[in-house]
Amino acid sequence: MTDEAALAATPVLLGRYTDASITDRIADIVLARPVHWGWIAAAMVSGALTLLFVVAISYLFAKGVGIWGNNQPVAWAFAITNFVWWVGIGHAGTFISAFLLLLRQRWRTSINRFAEAMTIFAVAMAGLMPILHLGRPWFFYWLIPYPNIMNLWPQWRSPLMWDIFAIGTYIIVSLLFWYMGLIADLATLRDRARKRWQQVAYGLAALGWRGDARHWARFDSAYLLMAGLATPLVISVHSVVSLDFAIGNTPGWHSTIFPPYFVAGALFSGFAMALTLAIPMRRIFRLKAFITARHLDNMAKLMLVCCLIVTYSYATEIFMAYYSADRYEIAMTVNRMQGPYAPVYWSVVLCNVIVPQALWSANVRASTVSLFVIAIVVNIGMWLERFMIIVSSLNRDFLPSSWHVYAPTFWDLATLAGSIGTFALLFLLFVRVLPAISIAEMRKLARDKEAARA
């Protein structure tokens, strides 16, 4: 049997579980298992970075956006790079939970819950970035259409307005979808919990779910409808984000390939982040029976597919610059490869095009260490790609008199590091407070597996 065939035979659930044992196994991570040193160490590091985020935001509010390196012509820089990167990371979570549900990919069962949590926390970080970047952040609600004493309405023809609706809808729908799937598991925790405060907290959150068969029937249809809604939504969100760029006439932005290019990039970084979170999580909480080599292999393959689409997009951008014979597009392309940000461009090529090619090898996909390293490299590469698109396009636009080389300040870096820490802290708390794997769906998976064995 080859490696490939052996892996294909790896089940999505290792070992034999009953309804009761699978419930205890997952619920005990929240209710009974003592805290692991790995969790404490990660929580301390991410807690410190969260404090840094608070300091960076406080200082920003005290001093203004001048503490960042942004200036004309590079007005967008780190804040918008972070925004696009974080939104993109969210996309893989929705893809796993919604798209794979519609396609009846049952291996998604043990990874959808934490992937959805990843989506929510990533989109929360993304949503902060444009507000921090506003300069007058307390006026952000002016983007929302409501009858007001200024007698003003938003500019509906601007992609920045579309963004508000896309991101706002995305975070609300992701939250509802996640919570809907959680209700039955919260009822399980309510019934398992021994401490009074846990019974009250989980009891309130479970809304009195009692597993009524008619409720389950409605739940199934609502959950499927929600997945059907989330799937086109997730495609639309990064398409709209890409239109923030593509509608502008800046060389390097004004391109029709942007929507699919951004969606593929979003899924690419999202699968990388899902692997970055899954690999340590299954180790610390000993979940290797639930998140098996098969899951990691499937995510790695999806990451490779996204890598190829992104690579094709890079090639198309270069081709179109020369094919269009637009001197500004050609100059922009040469500037990317040879200008002040050339190291960024070549790092992007290395991280996003060359390194992921290792995923063709089944041995690389089977090794958690190499997968983890590649996932980290892709995370970095995708952040740099967004930086490349924004900064290296803006820094030299049309007239050399307005050219300027942007460099980040300490506060730019602190905001990025702080948002990563806050995201990690939220995720760590999630793993301890809520079931990171859908218990109700796993019961069904375990039963079907036992039935197939019988």
Partner 1 sequence: MPDARLHGVMAEFASPEALLAAVVRCRREFASVDAYTPFAVDGLADALGFTRNGVPAITLAGGIVGGIGAYVLQWYSAVIDYPINAGGRPLHSWPAFIPATFELTVLGAALAAFFGLLVLNGLPRLNHPVFDVPDFDLASKSRFFLCVRADAPGFDAAVTERVLGSLDPVRVTRAREVER
Q: Which residues bind partner 1 (CB under 8 A)?
A: 18-20, 23, 145, 151-154, 156-157, 159, 161-162, 165-166, 168-169, 172-173, 176-177, 179-180, 184, 187-188, 190-192, 203-204, 207-222, 225-226, 229-230, 232-233, 236, 240, 243, 440-441, 443-444, 447
* Residues paired with 74 in a beta bridge: 71
Question: Cα–Cα distance between 267 and 255 in angstroms, integer?
Answer: 20
Q: 215 or 327: whose CB is closer to partner 1?
A: 215
| Minimum distance from residue 424 beta carbon to partner 1 (Å) | 28
| Minimum distance from residue 159 beta carbon to partner 1 (Å) | 8
Taken in order 201, 207, 212, 214, is the CA torsion positive or negative?
Answer: negative
Q: 235 or 348: whose CB is closer to partner 1?
A: 235
Q: 134 or 176: whose CB is closer to partner 1?
A: 176
| Minimum distance from residue 155 beta carbon to partner 1 (Å) | 8
Distance, C-alpha 64 to centroid of its chain: 28
Q: Which contacts of 368-374 are long-range, i.e. CB under 8 A and separated by 24 or more positions?
A: 368/279, 368/283, 368/296, 371/275, 371/279, 371/296, 371/300, 372/275, 372/276, 372/279, 372/280, 374/272, 374/300, 374/303
Q: 23 or 347: whose CB is closer to partner 1?
A: 23
Residue 29, token pair as written in the block = 């991570």
| Minimum distance from residue 93 beta carbon to partner 1 (Å) | 16
Residues 6+ apart with CB under 8 A from 334: none
Q: Which contacts of 314-320 are long-range, i.e. CB under 8 A and separated by 24 or more positions?
A: 314/348, 314/349, 314/352, 314/353, 316/257, 316/261, 317/255, 317/257, 317/261, 320/255, 320/257
Q: 52 or 230: whose CB is closer to partner 1?
A: 230
| Minimum distance from residue 48 beta carbon to partner 1 (Å) | 37
Specify the DSSP element, H or E, that contains 428: helix 410-433
Question: Cα–Cα distance between 96 and 115 in angstroms, integer?
Answer: 7
Residue 54, token pair as written in the block = 């608070």
| Minimum distance from residue 366 beta carbon to partner 1 (Å) | 32
Q: Identify whether the C-beta of residue 364 lies closer than 8 Å to the C-beta of residue 284.
A: no
| Minimum distance from residue 36 beta carbon to partner 1 (Å) | 25
Q: 57 or 87: whose CB is closer to partner 1?
A: 87
| Minimum distance from residue 244 beta carbon to partner 1 (Å) | 11
Question: Residue 164 carries which side chain, given as an amino acid letter?
Answer: I
Q: 59 or 179: whose CB is closer to partner 1?
A: 179
Q: 231 or 419: whose CB is closer to partner 1?
A: 231
Q: What angle do CA 5, 7, 12 make, to 5 degrees?
A: 130
